[in-house]
A and B are shown apart, each in its own frame.
Chain A
Amino acid sequence: MNSFSLDNLQSLTWFFPEIAITVGVIAVIIWDLISAGLNRIRGIVVITLASLLTSGFLSLAYLMRQLAGLTPSMSLFGGLLAFDPFSHLFRMLFAFVAAIVIVFASPSSETGAGTRKRRGAGEFFTLLLIITLGLNLMVMSRNLLMIYLSLEVVSVISFVMAGFKIDNRKSAEGALKYVIFGGMASGIMLYGMSWLFGISQSLDIGEIGNQIAMATAQNGRVPLVILLGVVCMLGGLGYKISAAPFHMWTPDVYEGAPTSITAFLSVGPKAAGFAVLIRFFEEGVKATTHYDGRLTPWAMIAGLIAMATMTVGNFTALHQSNIKRMLAFSSIAHAGYMLLGFCVFDQQGKQAIMFYLLTYALMNLGAFLVVAAVAERNGGNEDIATYNGLGSRSPVLAIMMAIFLFSLTGLPPFAGFIGKFYIFASLLHVGGRWNWILATVGVLNSVVSLFYYARVVRAMYLTKPDDKRALTVRVSWGTTIVALAVPTLALGIYWAPIYDFMTASLLIGR
């Protein structure tokens, strides 16, 4: 196996971010039982944030150690999990996203956190911590079984959280669809895994990679069985990143779920899905764009999925009148852009995806926060029409929303543009006919996306308000919105330190 494969006991030393979260889970449950009143929710929020921040900073510490060359990349738990800069970076991202979602969710009645009447708020935060743990495990997995298990942890908890608005039919409908689609996708993935296991006699993706490389070299092309197995795997992972044609659950779930959960689902599991995709295709498939001068099926399939995802997402978003649904389709489209960076299977594509994920996390979380803030003051109405005249009702909020939306469109000087720039640059860097076609479809899609993002901007600034009263926002939300908008703008003007840092950290180590 690996040169650095630690046994279970040794591995615990390098497993502290996850242990921190686990401790947090237990602490939240206990606190939930022993405290009462306002103190309960305060304590829970503090515990969750503390465990997430600990997890994030421990990951950062690991990353720094590895960058400084103090600790080599290795495998934990006998080869089940990877310990490499790549996973540290993602774990930091998850801790950040989950922390934002905590701030997001804590005052909201949707999650049961704001009210004391229905049920314990501890439930929500426990689930959020467990799902973060699942995400962490996902990005570290280098074993088919581990991939499956961590994916299921994330999925099962996502189902619960999607249906968290217990007395809301839409929420229930979304959750049910999610379960059915999720079950199907897991089944397909498991089937694909069984093929791969059957051929390679191993669950370790590095070993599978060697087998695939050998079989490919013998046949001169990728054998059909392997193709089938990998495509089935792609089905399961495609479901997680909501890539077409596995995206059908997305709009219903995003619309029905509490907004904070929607925001989380649109960023966290998607990023983890990309991490697994990247790791699996780099370690497990050893995919390249060209083999023997010809386009490989991987580049072909990934490209087709990317094009379909972008196009479906963007064109369907055009007709939406509910803003959460619209952002759901937009998140499908963004998965498509990121898949473009995935299509090239190289370091630069990986960097592009990682940077895109960061910018996407900032702007998407921000946009959903604004959605929640506006919906809260409109009796839960999430229609785009409720944004009419927001520019005069709440100027700062509207400016922030405009920043997020233009950034999602990919216009300079916002971070979204830089993300898109790197994606397209990675395609054109490799070049070739297929990548040019992909890039062309990609830029056309970004023009289309302007149209529906601009609809919200139009409602905010160009349409007269139906209700002239000023719209106020909770301080914690408003602060978070600004805190997300500032880097969205700043990273569009000077992104060098962050990008260089990511570039240095994106090593998948064996």
Chain B
Amino acid sequence: MSRSRTKYFWAALVALVAVILSASAWAQQAMPPQQRMPQGAVNQPSARTPGGGSGQIAMRVDGEKYGPVEMRRDGKEFRGEFWVANDGTGPLNVTRLALRTSATDPRLPGGAIVAFDDGKTIATIQPNAAKKAIVRWEVDKAGGVTELYGHVIAESDTSDRRVAAMGIHAEVELGGSPWLFNHILSWLTFLPVLGMLAIFVMYLMGYKKDENLKWLGVGLMGVELILAIWLFWAYNNGIGRAAGNDGFQFIEHGVWIRSLNVEYFVGVDGTSISMVLLTALVSFVASIASFSVKTKLKGYWAMYFLLVTGMFGVFVSLDLFLFYMFWEIMLLPMYFLIGIWGGPRKEYAAIKFFLYTLAGSVFMLLAFIALYYNADPTYLVDGSPVLHSFSIPELMRVDFLGKNLTILTMSFVKVIWVVLFVGFAIKVPMFPFHTWLPDAHVEAPTAISVILAGVLLKMGTYGMLRLNFGLLPEATQWAAPAIAVFGVINILYGAFCAMAQEDLKRLVAYSSVSHMGYCLLAMGALTPHGIEAAIVQMFNHGTITSMLFTLVGVVYDRAHTREIGKFGGMATEMPFYTAFFGFAFMASLGLPGMSGFIGEALTFVGAFPVYPVMTILAASGVIFTAAYHLWAMQRIFLGKFREDWRTSHALEDTGGKFPEMNFREAMSLAPMAIIVLVLGFWPRPLLNLIDTGVMDLTALVNPPGASQIAHLGDMASKALALLH
């Protein structure tokens, strides 16, 4: 379409959105209320009580159609009011007004109380009358929790014993700018989308200086990084599940699609916080590495931003539907980023990546639907009762095993577990689903390789921890040995494959396969140490492998080849580069003093008590890892420099010399190098961050039973004592 006509489209677009919005609003209004009930909502009219009329309980907030009650701060305490009403024709006895929480399942942070305005928790309400109830929350008693999402429930003596609920919400304003900091996760997730829209507007306005877009990219990713650092600073790592809100922080929770019980529900806990930080870090570094992309920059940055949105979204979403949306949204930009800006076989690599991941995730979708329909009745955040829910914390409470369900005559939990696991394993990638990875890596542009290895692979393991471990702990115990076996296969197979590679990028790709194997082995152990190791390894591999891919990109930009055999004696040509490269390789092979070592060592500590033989096998993998790293280094950097480079076509511009790394390249490596070094000597900040989450997760998959207390618990506490 010619540019002169784009204004028509612009106008049409705006007009259409307006028409749709107004039409939908009108349709919503025109519908009688009883037809607006959510699907599966519990809405039976209350049965008649003897003696004429019957009471029917309902809870309302002033002026709002739906809850939750927004509690307002009043000095030290939060305070909110709502009405318990009787919609029936007879008197209603409210027998109990209470918070939806218990000692065994603490849903709420401490310090909250609810009562009617006369201080009692029982009341008799006449027909068509309502009684005011007051909910209060003393933040000081909440043990550091600064927000509260929960429900007040009211039981009445109507014969159906219907329990009504009202959502309550309180939140301490953070950092002086609640519009930003109280919605930090949404900002992190959707800020890149704003960048994308900005690019679209630039296109419509006919902006031509595409090379300036990289500053938009770096700037936006810088803002993301700053927000993430604020998140790191503000995250309270002492809060676990017992502290209420299911251990999540920075929660945002609202109803998205009422008829499907889908909520916009995001939050971070010990399992995801490190991944959110990693995402911000890697996408910032990769945005610097993106400077080497020179063509179709509008498209590149638009896709890059969408990818970042998808990544953040996956790590923060706590609703299965939302999770799936983000999980899939990532595929589109990735396909284009590899397919358009990639290497010679980009088309093959792009579609292979797309098909592999989609094949895994469509089955995941079926698993999500199955989980949804077999979930227990609960309440949405606004208090509306629902039969099923996509909310991950709610699904974590469902005893799927106890329901004795079957799928195609096989055990429900096992089938669902395997389906989810395979979906995630493709992303990890786990042997035998790994074959897309080397292709995708080799063909992807440097920055995208960095993101792919640095963040996308972690989504697989994160998904396992969040969903396989979180939702189906019993099946996890059943399958744990298999995870560990696959982990060991990954470690050894990846290492052997890496050894055989001539292409430096392929070598690094296979090293990723190998390193993700440690995560799997560690996870499979189900010990506190194992799970901690898995997360630590995820974070550390993300930082280290980002460096590796950036370094490969640096040499490729100069030599236009990555064939290891063509290099030699590069140490004399690019000493600074060699130093960085050596540092990254040493970190990758697990040299003590660098962060790579921490993950591996923790893995062995965590896995050894459970799988001694496999751990020994895996540890032998370290030797192979060292072998291929050192061998590759030796071939590239040591020995004599090949003089034919002097006359090579690739180095024409620089007079036959390899130019040293420039400032930009160094800047894209330095942050990661510092983190690798700091965490290598002092992993406490990272461990502190995830400790509570790990403990909660371990308690779920590995509850201390009679046999386990002696075995695992003891080992674990000893090991933890050693490390801390």
Instruction: Identify which of A143-151, A176-184, A300-308, A478-486 touches chain B.
Output: A478-486
- Rounded to whole angstroms, the CA-CA distance of A176 and B383 in the bound complex is 60
16 contacts between A and B (CB under 8 A): A67-B30, A68-B32, A394-B1, A395-B1, A406-B332, A412-B324, A431-B373, A436-B407, A461-B336, A461-B340, A470-B2, A473-B5, A478-B1, A496-B256, A496-B257, A496-B259
Which secondary structure characterizes the binding site on chain B? helix
Specify which chain A residues have a CB less than 8 angstroms from the CB of B36 in the assembled complex. 500, 504
- Identify the closest chain B residue to A473 (Cβ): B1
Are A396 and B365 interface neighbours, CB within 8 A?
no
Are A458 and B358 interface neighbours, CB within 8 A?
no
- Rounded to whole angstroms, the CA-CA distance of A471 and B3 in the bound complex is 11
Instruction: Identify which of B158-166, B179-187, B348-356 touches chain A.
Output: B348-356
Which 4 residue pairs spanning A and B have beta carbons closest together? A497-B24, A443-B362, A504-B35, A412-B325
Interface flag for A417 (CB, 8 Å):
yes
- Rounded to whole angstroms, the CA-CA distance of A496 and B28 in the bound complex is 10
Are B1 and A486 interface neighbours, CB within 8 A?
no
Interface flag for B366 (CB, 8 Å):
yes
Q: Contacts A428-B366, A462-B346, A462-B347 hold; do A478 and B28 have CB atoms under 8 A apart?
A: no
- Rounded to whole angstroms, the CA-CA distance of A350 and B49 in the bound complex is 37
Partner of A443, one of B336, B347, B354, B366: B366
Specify which chain B residues have a CB less than 8 angstroms from the CB of A338 in the assembled complex. none
Are B30 and A64 interface neighbours, CB within 8 A?
yes
Instruction: Identify which of B7-15, B233-241, B454-462 touches chain A.
Output: B7-15
Are B332 and A458 interface neighbours, CB within 8 A?
no
- Rounded to whole angstroms, the CA-CA distance of A139 and B358 in the bound complex is 37
- Identify the closest chain B residue to A396 (Cβ): B1
Specify which chain A residues have a CB less than 8 angstroms from the CB of B8 in the assembled complex. 475, 478-479
Are B355 and A450 interface neighbours, CB within 8 A?
yes
Q: Contacts A428-B373, A443-B363 hold; do A69 and B32 have CB atoms under 8 A apart?
A: yes
Specify which chain B residues have a CB less than 8 angstroms from the CB of A486 in the assembled complex. 13, 16-17, 20
Instruction: Identify which of A71-79, A107-115, A487-495 touches chain B.
Output: A487-495
- Identify the closest chain B residue to A461 (Cβ): B340
Partner of A458, one of B2, B13, B351, B408: B351
Interface flag for B370 (CB, 8 Å):
yes
Interface flag for B203 (CB, 8 Å):
yes
Interface flag for A298 (CB, 8 Å):
no
- Rounded to whole angstroms, the CA-CA distance of A411 and B332 in the bound complex is 9
Beta-carbon contacts under 8 Å, A60-106 to B: 64, 67-69
Size class of the contact patch on chain B: 35 or more
Q: Contacts A67-B30, A503-B259 hold; do A424 and B17 have CB atoms under 8 A apart?
A: no
**Shortest Cβ gap from B387 to chain A (Å):** 11
Beta-carbon contacts under 8 Å, B218-273 to A: 256-260
Interface flag for A501 (CB, 8 Å):
yes
Are B16 and A487 interface neighbours, CB within 8 A?
yes
Are B13 and A482 interface neighbours, CB within 8 A?
yes
Are A424 and B259 interface neighbours, CB within 8 A?
no
Beta-carbon contacts under 8 Å, B567-593 to A: none
- Rounded to whole angstroms, the CA-CA distance of A487 and B407 in the bound complex is 36
Q: Contacts A424-B365, A478-B9 hold; do A462 and B340 have CB atoms under 8 A apart?
A: yes
Interface flag for A437 (CB, 8 Å):
yes
- Rounded to whole angstroms, the CA-CA distance of A405 and B358 in the bound complex is 15
Are B373 and A421 interface neighbours, CB within 8 A?
no
Q: Contacts A421-B365, A425-B369 hold; do A411 and B328 have CB atoms under 8 A apart?
A: yes
Are A482 and B339 interface neighbours, CB within 8 A?
no
Are B328 and A500 interface neighbours, CB within 8 A?
no
Are A500 and B31 interface neighbours, CB within 8 A?
yes
Specify which chain A residues have a CB less than 8 angstroms from the CB of B351 in the assembled complex. 451, 454, 458
- Rounded to whole angstroms, the CA-CA distance of A484 and B510 in the bound complex is 44
Partner of A501, one of B27, B39, B325: B27
Are A436 and B16 interface neighbours, CB within 8 A?
no
Are B31 and A483 interface neighbours, CB within 8 A?
no
Interface flag for A439 (CB, 8 Å):
yes
Please name 9 further chain A to chain B contacts, defined as beta carbons within 8 Å, in addition to the given A436-B407, A472-B5, A501-B31, sorted by A numbering: A428-B370, A429-B373, A470-B2, A479-B9, A482-B9, A482-B12, A494-B256, A495-B257, A497-B28
Beta-carbon contacts under 8 Å, A391-442 to B: 391-392, 394-397, 406, 411-413, 417, 421, 424-425, 428-429, 431, 433, 436-437, 439-440
- Among A64, A417, A439, A501, chain B packs the most CB atoms within 10 A around the CB of A501
- Identify the closest chain B residue to A449 (Cβ): B358
Specify which chain A residues have a CB less than 8 angstroms from the CB of B398 in the assembled complex. none
Specify which chain B residues have a CB less than 8 angstroms from the CB of A501 in the assembled complex. 24, 27-28, 31
Q: Contacts A436-B408, A443-B362, A496-B258 hold; do A412 and B328 have CB atoms under 8 A apart?
A: yes
**Shortest Cβ gap from B16 to chain A (Å):** 5
Are A450 and B354 interface neighbours, CB within 8 A?
yes
**Shortest Cβ gap from B679 to chain A (Å):** 35
Specify which chain B residues have a CB less than 8 angstroms from the CB of A412 in the assembled complex. 324-325, 328-329
Interface flag for A157 (CB, 8 Å):
no
- Rounded to whole angstroms, the CA-CA distance of A429 and B118 in the bound complex is 45
Interface flag for B25 (CB, 8 Å):
yes
**Shortest Cβ gap from B291 to chain A (Å):** 22
Interface flag for B667 (CB, 8 Å):
no
Interface flag for B648 (CB, 8 Å):
no
Specify which chain A residues have a CB less than 8 angstroms from the CB of B256 in the assembled complex. 494, 496
Are B366 and A440 interface neighbours, CB within 8 A?
yes
Interface flag for A16 (CB, 8 Å):
no
Interface flag for B359 (CB, 8 Å):
yes
Are B373 and A433 interface neighbours, CB within 8 A?
no
Are B359 and A462 interface neighbours, CB within 8 A?
no
Q: Mark A296-324, 1 if CB is under 8 A from B, else 0.
A: 00000000000000000000000000000
Interface flag for B331 (CB, 8 Å):
yes
Specify which chain B residues have a CB less than 8 angstroms from the CB of A439 in the assembled complex. 366
Beta-carbon contacts under 8 Å, B322-337 to A: 324-325, 328-329, 331-332, 335-336
Interface flag for B104 (CB, 8 Å):
no
Q: Mark B371-407, 1 if CB is under 8 A from A, else 0.
A: 0110000000000000000000000000000000001
Partner of B24, one of A421, A424, A498: A498
- Rounded to whole angstroms, the CA-CA distance of A429 and B39 in the bound complex is 12
- Identify the closest chain A residue to B204 (Cβ): A396
Q: Mark A373-405, 1 if CB is under 8 A from B, else 0.
A: 000000000000000000110111100000000
- Rounded to whole angstroms, the CA-CA distance of A487 and B21 in the bound complex is 10
Q: Contacts A428-B373, A429-B373, A497-B27 hold; do A475 and B5 have CB atoms under 8 A apart?
A: yes
Are A479 and B12 interface neighbours, CB within 8 A?
yes
Partner of B362, one of A64, A446, A479: A446
Interface flag for A447 (CB, 8 Å):
yes
Interface flag for B654 (CB, 8 Å):
no
Interface flag for B6 (CB, 8 Å):
yes
- Identify the closest chain A residue to B36 (Cβ): A500
Interface flag for A31 (CB, 8 Å):
no
- Identify the closest chain B residue to A477 (Cβ): B1
Are B1 and A67 interface neighbours, CB within 8 A?
no
- Rounded to whole angstroms, the CA-CA distance of A462 and B39 in the bound complex is 43
- Rounded to whole angstroms, the CA-CA distance of A446 and B24 in the bound complex is 30
Specify which chain B residues have a CB less than 8 angstroms from the CB of A396 in the assembled complex. 1, 6, 9
Interface flag for A14 (CB, 8 Å):
no
Specify which chain B residues have a CB less than 8 angstroms from the CB of A454 in the assembled complex. 335, 351, 354
Specify which chain B residues have a CB less than 8 angstroms from the CB of A499 in the assembled complex. 257, 259-260
Q: Mark B620-646, 1 if CB is under 8 A from A, else 0.
A: 000000000000000000000000000
- Rounded to whole angstroms, the CA-CA distance of A406 and B328 in the bound complex is 11
Specify which chain B residues have a CB less than 8 angstroms from the CB of A397 in the assembled complex. 1
Interface flag for B409 (CB, 8 Å):
yes
